Structure 1
Amino acid sequence: MTVDYALLARQLAALLDTRDWLTNSAQTTAFLMQALPELNWAGFYLQREPETLCLGPFQGKPACHPIPFSKGVCGAAARTRTTQRIDDVHAVADHIACDAASRAELVVPILVADRLWGVLDLDSPVKGRFSEADQAGIESLVAVFLAQTDLAERP
């Protein structure tokens, strides 16, 4: 499966026609769910409390909330500030299973001026769904989101 991430980046940039973080994060998750095959969840978790991620805009089944930095794939991305690409989440001892159908996960931390704003979390029911090319592509889409969105103001 080949995804044209350069095209998706241009489309996302055109879609994000406001600087508002809430509108843009909601639009981004809806866009990702429509544009990327084999996803069953796409959403943001925000750092609104110390060492904790709080559920933000998402598409998919109801999600887990809150997520401590000490647990799960999202927690690892927040704690280490590095992208986490997991081929089989069932092999991760502290995986937080919001949807038992999820098998693969990609979580990209979102940093603003060296401060963790949150993470973008993508789940797939397909084991090994996310390749290195997908990781680079999703990281480029996060860069578009960052460039188009004012993340200084957030409740």
Structure 2
Amino acid sequence: MKIWNILALSFAIFLAGCASSEASKERSALYTFPELEQVNSIDNFRMDGWENVDKYTVIVNSKPRQSYLLVLNGGLNNLKFAQGLLITSTLGKVEVGFDSVATPQEPMQKSQIKRIYRLKDKAEKEAIKQKIIAFAAVEEKEADKGNAE
């Protein structure tokens, strides 16, 4: 009897892992922006301001008057209410897959930077923010629908 319980539990964990992986793949596809210029790093990075868009993305302003969209590997739930932003860097260079983002309130909860996009101007910045807000609304609606079932 115990072996069947272990097998059933293992199968349930496997299915949950597959569902989680599938959701991660879908989210990754949503947070890909072929219309934007993707870069692998930000050289001479000095943050001059930031704004969160949702828990997976943040826009940072750098000197001189350049903005970047950072897409994070995992969500930071407290990003919306954060008083500040911590971004790791080496000698002023922020790199995809190497550096991460956290908040001062929870500095140990970090999320690795998955992609960086250079934003040309305010219009492009606003357009991408609206696109991400639309994703987040659809994702939230799907989550609510799944919880109701």
TM bucket, shorter chain: 0.3 to 0.5
Largest Rg, 1 or 2: 2
Query: How high is the TM-score relative to the length of structure 1?
Result: 0.33
Relative to total residues, which structure has the larger strand share, 1 or 2? 2
Relative to total residues, which structure has the larger helix share, 1 or 2? 2
Using CA pairs under 8 Å that are at least 6 residues apart, name the structure with larger relative contact order, 1 or 2. Answer: 1
Query: How high is the TM-score relative to the length of structure 2?
Result: 0.34
